[in-house]
Structure 1
């Protein structure tokens, strides 16, 4: 399983010990400053699970994809998006995925202002 880390998250997530084949930040994938639709295209075409904090935009873009290996979206309350939290959520996502590619699935992990974590997994497109 390969992961593409969107620019809205720390490129340090690429250093996470995942046990998976590859975790790559957008900048190293030649996507520095790329528009969301270009990031989506690369992730879908090259079989990456995209990891982002830009849930709304990417959910809309993935809705138009017939087949993809998954989207992981972090919804983090303002002021809480630390590197430590990003690492914790990424490892939580890996645990939730269980090493399986999430064909046409979205895994959303939300952290609200009270630091309560909610996990949702759903198909997209429906």
Structure 2
């Protein structure tokens, strides 16, 4: 799995992913894609088979209560996975790293396959990290 980190997240996440064995991981800015619109990133992400990591969850997976009903991945039948960070408007770098570590651990525990899945990584009110994985598109 190779991770592409959205520009609104720290580039340190790409370095962390590389340290954790995801050597092809990168950051949007490093690839010269800073400022690209979501739809432009979507085409690049799909073409290059990236698992995308973003805090713009709604923009990519649609509303949490009905994922896939809207957003950039609404019309996608096959993708390498999406990791959505959910929390306050600002998540500091250390917390972003903790969220990525938790997501990577959960993914590994689930067998490492994120094809057509979304990992929701949410900061709980008590400061903990909650993770859930669901299909996108849904398997209904």
Whole-Å separation in 2 of the counterparts to 1:7 and 1:45 = 18
Structure 2 unmatched ranges of 5 or more: 62-70
Provide the residue aligned with 1:23 in structure 2: 25
Provide the residue aligned with 2:53 in structure 1: 51
Of 101, 117, 135 in structure 2, the residue corresponding to residue 123 of structure 1 is 135
Provide the residue aligned with 1:111 in structure 2: 123
1:1-126 aligned at under 5 Å gives the runs 1-16=1-16, 17-59=19-61, 60-79=71-90, 81-98=91-108, 100-126=112-138
TM-score computed with the length of structure 1 as normaliser: 0.91
Q: Give the aligned CA root-mean-square deviation in angstroms.
A: 1.4
| Bigger mean CA offset, 84-93 vs 109-118 | 109-118
Structure 1 unmatched ranges of 5 or more: none
TM-score computed with the length of structure 2 as normaliser: 0.83
Whole-Å separation in 2 of the counterparts to 1:125 and 1:2 = 20
Question: Which structure carries more relative contact order (alpha carbon 8 Å, separation 6+)?
Answer: 1
Of Structure 1 and Structure 2, the greater helix share is in 1
> Post-superposition shift, 1:73?
0.4
Over 3 Å counting, the alpha-carbon distance change for 1:91 and 1:116 in structure 2 is closer
